[in-house]
Amino acid sequence: MPDLPPEARPRPPLAKRVEHTQLLHGERRVDAYAWLRDRDDPEVTAYLEAENAYTEAMTAHSKPLQEQLYQEMLARIQEDDATVPVRRGEWLYHSRTEQGKAYPIFCRRRSSPDAPEEVYFDENAEAAGHEFYQLGALEVSPDHRLLAILEDVSGYEDFTLRVRDLVTGAWLADRVEKLGFGLAWASDNRTIFYATTDEAKRTDRVWRHVLGDAQSADAEVFHEPGVLNNVGVHRARSGAYVVITSSSFTDGEVHLVDAAHPAEPPVLVRARRDDVEYDVEPGADWLYVCTNEAAPNFKVMRAPLADPGAWEEWLPHRAEAFVEGVHVFQRFVVVQERQRGLRTLRVTDLEQGDTHDVEFPQAAYGVQVEANPEFNQSELRVTYSSLVTPDTVFDYGLRTRVRTERKKEPVLGGYDESAYAIERLEAVARDGTRVPVSLVYRTLFARDGSRPLLLYAYGSYGYTVEPTFNSHRVSLLDRGFAFAIAHVRGGQEMGRAWYDDGKMMQKMNTFTDFIDVADHLVRERYTSPERLAAHGGSAGGLLMGVVANLRPDLFRTIVADVPFVDVVSTMLDASIPLTAQEWLQWGNPQEPEAYACIRAYSPYDNVAPQAYPRLLVTSGINDSRVAFWEPAKWVARLRATATGTEPLLLKMNLGAGHGGASGRYERLREIAERYAFILEQ
């Protein structure tokens, strides 16, 4: 990678070099780059544009490789493709993509797969003229005559509600703006429930809109004043209720609205209690409740629909099985669990009273239970994959136990999964904890330390990274790379305790687990430090920032996407989206113990005069989850402090948010840019 003279590297304007100082818990904190928070300042825009120009110049030599990667990844994709139809009443719904079009087209057929196709929403047409476009919801009314959508054209996740008449194709006059996630139809096909956010972008209210009424006439249905809680709204699979949730990271409660009588007030299932979480799924006669009350790994209770607070035990707590959730149908209940780090499905036949587990063939895999919108169905739609097996959609007979494959993701260009191998390893962390590692590579693979390896992790919010397939990754594997997932603490791969041991005052375990996994892979000769790359995004980008500070010698290359790196500053400012409720995830630095913990790892606060690995940092100017100024400030401080000569690049998308580009071709080019940067090692 060529270097440019020092004068070509972006530097903050001299007029802006005004330090922001703060005395906190006896420490004087100095922030020389606080001015970068002002996105309306032309000098901030100019600085970000200079960073992009610098990155463009520093990567110009790799454009042929980027184009090669893009073309070969695109060549594996069947551009003209369609999803497996899903039955909803008398209609079969599916989506499809067309070559050259960036977004899906949503279609349906009445009754039969052979019936004429009806396009009811073409996302390409709606995205035309917008640099960015994403859907937050796409909900057809119970009578299948109307479509309600939530759309965002900035990336900031400010959604607009629009409604289309599917008979005439015309958009109704109804339009409600600045909404959060969450949308539900009532059974009258004219009442819609939606959610709004407060000044800190916390979803805090649910409203009821009647078609034809002005937004000013909409009724507030629920308000959550507690800054630690987020509100959600959805229609239950049974169709009998609109479900309103209010939850923090440690507790919550649920309210039910009779979908047949949407103007009636919501009914509370059970009042919140400290450190008790619960979710509900209405059945035909019972309400099924997944809760951690006196059950660290969660259990399933049930209650009569007429008395939702009268819980009784249905599936007891088991130390060896972490209950992730329940899927309730008229005649069956499917409990989604995790055992030995892998997802399992436990099926109970409510009529016959028997229970069995669904079996899966590989040692490391991922399973996703799909929407399954019909309440009265006897098959479960599931997507299965592994690190070598493309996404495979199948219907599982809940009573017959017969697995019927409906579609396997096509991987064009002669992909042969038998040419690749999977390993499931365990690395011993410094405190003796055994950390699972999922690994894939192309055979034959010599463990002599000569192979490059890309190590990925997330490790926060209890989110589990499944060892699933990605056709783009083949471009690395076929160039000799191994790819590994470190299932570090902070996720829930090994149960609820795995999550608890990687948050709040135990957060450092996430970072040291990743380092210990990397050390293990080097020690076992899967790779070597000069051939080891690391990648993570958002909270996983925080992980990248921490390991770059703690062990810069262990990694040759690090890619940090939308990284949450200025943790102290963000968690001190409750006006920033997500901050207040996340005090239960990271701690509140106004408290001395929490400050000491966060201060010890916050990447921005721990940049040191040392040589860093090659770094590519990405962000989006409209990101509402991790503000653009966090990575911008981090890179600025690294530029001023780091002593090494390796490239340090910031790529700021000036037209997108947290997820990057919205169109599938633009996203593919972003992946090609990252892969080219990694491959250059």
HSE-CB at 230 with a 13 A cutoff on CA atoms is 18
Q: Which residues pair with 58 in a beta bridge?
A: none
Query: What is the 8-class DSSP label of residue 489?
Result: B
419 touches 474 (CB < 8 A) = no
Q: CB within 8 A of 310, min separation 6: which ones?
A: 303, 304
Angle at 348 between CA 344 and CA 354, to 5 degrees: 120
Burial of 298 from C-beta contacts in 10 A (0-12 / 13-18 / 19+):
buried
C-alpha 505/C-alpha 77 separation (Å) is 44
Task: For tokens 């925080």, name the residue.
Answer: 542
566 touches 634 (CB < 8 A) = yes
Q: Which residues pair with 290 in a beta bridge?
A: 279, 300
Where do the DSSP E strands lie in 180-218? 183-185, 191-197, 203-210
What 3-state class would DSSP assign to 96? strand
C-alpha 196/C-alpha 215 separation (Å) is 12
Query: What is the 8-class DSSP label of residue 491?
Result: B
Cα-Cα-Cα-Cα dihedral of 197, 203, 207, 212, to 10°?
50
Q: Cα Rg for the chain, rounded, in angstroms?
A: 25
Q: Which two tokens stand for residue 32?
A: 């020389």
246 touches 279 (CB < 8 A) = no
Give per-residue burial for 554-570: e unless 16+ CB within 10 Å, then b: bbbbbbbbbbbbbbbbb
C-alpha 459/C-alpha 474 separation (Å) is 24
Contacts 24+ apart (CB under 8 A), 106-111: 106/138, 108/144, 109/85
Identity of the residue numbered 479: R
- Which amino acids are annotated catalytic? 538, 623, 658
HSE-CB at 50 with a 13 A cutoff on CA atoms is 16
Q: CB within 8 A of 659, min separation 6: which ones?
A: 134, 155, 620
Residue 203: CB atoms within 10 Å: 22
What 3-state class would DSSP assign to 410? coil
Instruction: Enumerate the H helices of 373-478 as residue ranges.
Output: 474-477
Task: For tokens 């990057």, name the residue.
Answer: 660
Q: CB within 8 A of 255, min separation 6: which ones?
A: 222, 243, 244, 246, 266, 267, 268, 269
Torsion sign (Cα): 199, 201, 205, 207: positive
3-state helix, strand, coil in the chain (%, to 5): 25, 35, 40
Backbone angles phi, psi at 53, to 5 degrees: -65, -40
C-alpha 167/C-alpha 170 separation (Å) is 8
Identity of the residue numbered 276: V
